[in-house]
Amino acid sequence: MVVAGFATAVAAGTGLLMLPAAKAGPGGADAVEALFTAASAVCVTGLVVVDTPSYWSGFGQAVILGLIQVGGFGIMTFASVLVMLVSHRLGLRARLRAASETKSLGLGEIRSVVVGVVKASLLIEAVIAFVLTLRFGLGYDTPWPEALWLGAFHSVSAFNNAGFALYSDSLMGFVGDPWICLPIASAVIAGGLGFPVLFELRRRWRRPRGWSLHTKIVLAASSGFLVGGTLFVTALEWGNPGTLGPLDVPGKLLAGFFQGVMPRTAGFNSVDTAEMNPATWLGMDVLMFVGGASAGTAGGIKVTTFAVLFFVIYAEVRGEASVNIFHRRLQGDVQRQALTVVLLSVAAVVGSTVVFLVFTDFSLDRSLFEVTSAFATVGLSTGITADLPAPEQLLLVALMFIGRLGPITVASALALRQRARLYDFPEERPVIG
């Protein structure tokens, strides 16, 4: 049902974007352009094959914004909200659909979770939009109606980790403006933490010892990746004349922080990604592949998956029989799920990169960056997306779709059943290593 819901949203968005009213110029967008943009918006990715501010009309941009919001809420969560508005209650079927999207475990809490998701999203988006509107209007003499539109669009795009911008160079024109970069980065971080973490922080922010294991893992891992990503990008690009080199020290630090945040699956850029060092691209590949937290707007394999496998390795190296994180023991099925997600994700990225190398003339580093960005629903690009042949663009559409839903979700949708084995085979240990 989740797969069908997202597919329906992509199809509807494609149809709307193919209307002549959605295009700024004469005629309508062709099928591949409309499909790619709709999938990128619903899957909150941000990769584009056409220039968003000049190619799409106001109506087209509004459609993109709506698709981003729908994708951020989650199709099933959004449908449950509509059910609540109509009937003022949730039936069992609607609760189960919402549970599959929000990763909630208790049916009795689904209604409050769905309402909380909507309230939290709209509140954060409204605050960020207010700050951005004031900055666009007062700092850049933008007419207030246009400033309001710019603030709202970029706020929704940032919180939902979409990365769509209404400037042809993304946010490169604001590389030294903290009143633009920091609110957008804050929205990206908030969306990437996930709704369960935001709810728990709101309820128990003064009692960190009472936080759940999930919240502790997300906050610890996210902090580590944010600090590490910022230091990594800043150090490698410090003297690069195409990126941070021409900026003063405060500007370099701001741009380095901004670009360290964006691989958490938001595709904004304040410097030219195509001019970065290949070593920086490789490090950003890792950051993009890991992504943000579960049950939020971020993509990737998720920081919780990465943390689980890290502690599995740590326990194995120490010779411990069980895996413990923050004084809690992990169940075996959690470890198997994490391993499944990672291996399926690696297979998707490596296989797609091979296709790029065989059928295009782009180098390995650029191909890997583009594929990882699509799969992790990031949206950062080295500038080759628009130049790709149509089959490779459609491959990126498939990667965005799979990356948004998650490999384990797709696998479950294809074979949603569990079998209880009534017997076990004899044990035998193969040689490892």
In a domain, residue 104? The reply is yes
In a domain, 424, yes or no: no
Write the DSSP assignment of 160-211 as a string of letters: TT----SSTTTTGGGTT-HHHHHHHHHHHHHHHH-HHHHHHHHHHTT-GGG-
Q: Which two tokens stand for residue 399?
A: 């990667």
Give the pTM. 0.88
| Contact status, residue 382 vs residue 46, Cβ threshold 8 Å | no
pLDDT of residue 100: 59
- How far apart are alpha carbons 27 and 19 in whole angstroms? 8
Beta-carbon-side half-sphere exposure of residue 377 (alpha carbons within 13 Å): 34
The DSSP code sequence of 228-251 is: HHHHHHHHHHTT-TTTTTTS-HHH
Q: How far is CA 87 from the centre of its chain?
A: 32
What distance in Å separates the CA atoms of residue 59 and residue 17, rounded to the nearest whole number?
9
Tally: H helices and E strands in the chain: 18, 2
- Find the radius of gyration of the CA atoms of the chain: 22
- Low-confidence stretches of the chain (pLDDT beneath 50): 86, 88, 105, 414-415
- Please check whether residue 423 lies inside any domain of the structure: no
386 assigned to some structural domain? yes
Task: Tell me whether residue 426 is in a domain.
Answer: no
What is the C-alpha to C-alpha distance for residues 164 and 154, in angstroms, rounded to an integer? 7
Question: CA 176: distance to chain centroid?
Answer: 25
pLDDT of residue 417: 53
Q: Is residue 183 part of a domain?
A: yes
Can you tell me the distance from the alpha carbon of 54 to that of 433, in angstroms, rounded to the nearest whole number? 55
Please tell me what DSSP assigns to residue 425: P
| Position 431 in a domain | no
- The encoded tokens of residue 286 equal 């890792």
Domain region containing 79: 2-414
Count of domains for the chain: 1
Residue 430 placed within a domain: no
| Phi and psi at residue 165, to the nearest 5° | -130, 155
The predicted pLDDT at position 407 comes to 62
> What are the residue ranges of helices labelled H in 291-385?
303-318, 332-359, 364-375
CB burial class (10 A; 0-12, 13-18, 19+) of residue 418?
exposed
Structure confidence at residue 200 (pLDDT):
83
Q: Across-strand partners of 56?
A: 23
The residues, any chain, with a CB within 8 Å of residue 79's CB and separated by 6 or more, are 5, 94, 97, 98
Residue 126 token pair: 């409204």
